[in-house]
Amino acid sequence: MQKVMKFNLSVQQQAPGDSNNNRVWKWHIQDPASQRLTWNKPPKSVLVIKKVRDASLLQPFKELCRFLTEVKGMIVYVERKVLEDPAIVGDESFVAVKKTFCTFREDFDDISDQVDFIICLGGDGTLLYASSLFQESVPPVMAFHLGSLGFLAPFNFDTYQSQVTQIIEGNAALVLRSRLKVKVVKECRERKGGVDETGLILTNGEAETTRRTMQYQVLNEVVVDRGPSSYLSNVDLFLDGHLITTVQGDGVIVSTPTGSTAYAVAAGASMIHPNVPAIMITPICPHSLSFRPIVVPAGVELKIMLSRDARNTAWVSFDGRKRQEVCHGDSITITTSCFPVPSICFRDPVNDWFESLAQCLHWNVRKKQNYLGSEEEEY
């Protein structure tokens, strides 16, 4: 499968004898519709992601798994906690199929080299969860709309057999959804000292600082907010090492083009097609009339730190998960990841995106203006 799509720029000089003798700059832009799913060899294994304890997904999940194992002969990977659902445990007719599954546990088992593609059953959150399971290369993802919104899930489950067959045969378009690589460095301060014979802790008043580093791959957005505090958040935003602004408000959203249609658009940002290489910075309720959302190139490095004079700490979350406190001395570094999510299209990247805008967000929905006839023009 082709996983790397490049945006190329070439420089060409005009032919000798041209009186102007100028350089000609030409942009060679990859056509989004040309990104196709191609298999080097037929896929043998599939990861099925299902929203846990959602009764409405039990029947589609069972039908899909039977089809994959009995008809297509696929090796099916399922998360262990999905099979612990009482409704699945108590279904005797599903026991034979369940015995063929390969199971894994989040944060414990690495299946990145064992899965050929992924099928998601649910809403957009299911796709976000699937992305979080892979910290490096992500298999192609086929998402069925069985949730509440489904902006990122273009497939209808009614015709799942023919659609899954097309994917197995390699007949589909792809959109490479960029992710953010996030590094969080937290300062941990510990008092120096010891313990005497009675068990009393002795300290000399000095603090020893250690650093703890965590990394995340984020598909939608990184959100830094004021948390439970009633004060404004006060965080410094750096771009390639230079302080560009201080965010004073409820917080700031750093999102991918895919995430531009999530929290960011609710905070007043523009919507960016996922093929555009960019990072969006959107303030949340800024205490400034001139602080508008901005779009920066995908290649920059952003850093967020609590301002020195901030009255309170901040909180950060990654695609709505792993929420944690940000204290003085902590830093959040954000760059574009080298490992995008290959999302399988129903038709193609452009048509699927506008279809989602219309169906899910009702973009530019308005009653049409009545035609004005020639006899009415004078009124």
Among candidate residues 85, 116, 124, 330, the one labeled active-site is 124
Element containing residue 28 per DSSP (H, E): strand 23-28
Going by C-alpha positions, the residue among 364, 47, 353, 334 that lies closest to residue 175 is 353
Specify the 3-state DSSP secondary structure of 298.
coil
What is the 8-class DSSP label of residue 258? G
CA distance 373 to 379: 11
* Through-space distance between the first and last CA atoms of the chain, rounded to whole angstroms: 63
**How far is residue 212 from each of residues 14, 185, 193, 208, measured CA to CA in Å?**
55, 6, 21, 13
Three-state SS sequence of 99-144: CCCEEECCCCCCCCCCCCEEEEEECHHHHHHHHHCCCCCCCCEEEE
Count, in order, helices (H) and strands (E) of the chain.
Answer: 8, 21
CA distance 209 to 187: 6
Q: Residue 240 catalytic?
A: no
Element containing residue 89 per DSSP (H, E): helix 86-89
Burial status of residue 155 (CB atoms within 10 A of its CB: 0-12, 13-18, 19 or more): buried
Residues with active-site annotation: 124
